[in-house]
């Protein structure tokens, strides 16, 4: 009678590492929303996530990298980049999602902290990386529109997106005027009218 070979240990996709990452990022987003970037500490995030501080440092290395990852994950979930095949529909949906995100505690905190990031070089670098990543992802909307012939070939995707997003961020940050429900569509039309006039 031959001895049966033991079955290999099967690991679940993600496993503990994925659960720890998710818990830490969720805790970081909570602290961001409640206290802002400047007051976020690894100690508090670790305590809320139920992990050791060394676990957080081992994975992220610094507070700034953790902040950046939390902002990217939060905005990826809250501000998806649509692909409907129509540039107006895509830009309007993106702008609506941004407006909704900016109305959340996390979104308001991110917008507020972005305006203060120049006071801290490390946070300024994290914010620049965050914004560049979002522009690169959303730039696909403009690139696809150019490929379909909806926009001129020399369209500056970053500038178009800044024109679309900046008024929403300004209103969220200053709070002097609300973001009306139709503002994303109105901004979309203004941006597209300007881009198409170049033809």
The C-alpha atoms of residue 154 and residue 198 are separated, in whole angstroms, by 9
Domain contains 155: yes
Q: Are 182 and 107 contained in the same domain?
A: yes
Domain contains 53: yes
The predicted pLDDT at position 116 comes to 66
- Per-residue pLDDT at 4 exceeds 70: no
Which residue carries 């995100």 as its tokens? 101
Confidence of residue 12 (pLDDT cuts 50, 70, 90): low
Q: Are 114 and 178 contained in the same domain?
A: yes
Domain contains 33: yes
- For the domain that residue 92 is a member of, what is the CATH number? 1.10.357.10
Q: Are 168 and 126 contained in the same domain?
A: yes
Per-residue model confidence as pLDDT tens digits over 54-80: 999 999 998 888 988 888 787 777 788
Confidence of residue 112 (pLDDT cuts 50, 70, 90): confident
Tokens standing for 172?
């969220």
Please list, in sequence order, all residues whose beta carbon lies within 8 angstroms of the beta carbon of residue 175, skipping any fewer than 6 positions away.
none
Q: Are 89 and 49 contained in the same domain?
A: no
Tokens standing for 92?
């309007």
Domain that holds residue 32: 13-61
Q: Are 97 and 37 contained in the same domain?
A: no
Q: What's the total number of domains in the chain? A: 2
- Check if the beta carbon of residue 18 is closer than 8 Å to that of residue 7: no
Confidence of residue 199 (pLDDT cuts 50, 70, 90): low
């Amino acid at each position: 009678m031959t001895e049966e070979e033991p079955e290999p240990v099967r690991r679940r996709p993600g496993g503990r590492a994925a659960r720890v990452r998710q818990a830490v990022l969720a805790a970081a987003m909570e602290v961001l929303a409640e206290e802002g970037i400047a007051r976020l500490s690894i100690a508090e995030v670790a305590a809320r996530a139920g992990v050791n501080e060394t676990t957080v440092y081992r994975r992220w290395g610094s507070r700034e990298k953790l902040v950046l990852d939390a902002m990217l994950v939060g905005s990826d979930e809250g501000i998806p980049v649509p692909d409907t095949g129509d540039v107006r529909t895509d830009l309007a949906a993106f702008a609506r999602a941004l407006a909704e995100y900016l109305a959340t505690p996390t979104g308001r905190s991110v917008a507020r902290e972005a305006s203060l990031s120049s006071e801290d070089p490390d946070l300024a670098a994290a914010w620049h990386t965050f914004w560049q990543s979002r522009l690169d992802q959303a730039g696909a909307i403009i690139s696809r529109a150019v490929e379909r012939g909806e926009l001129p070939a020399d369209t500056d995707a970053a500038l178009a997106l800044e024109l679309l997003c900046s008024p929403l961020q300004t209103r969220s940050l200053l709070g002097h005027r609300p973001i009306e429900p139709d503002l994303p569509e109105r901004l979309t039309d203004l941006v597209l009218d300007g881009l198409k006039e170049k033809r």
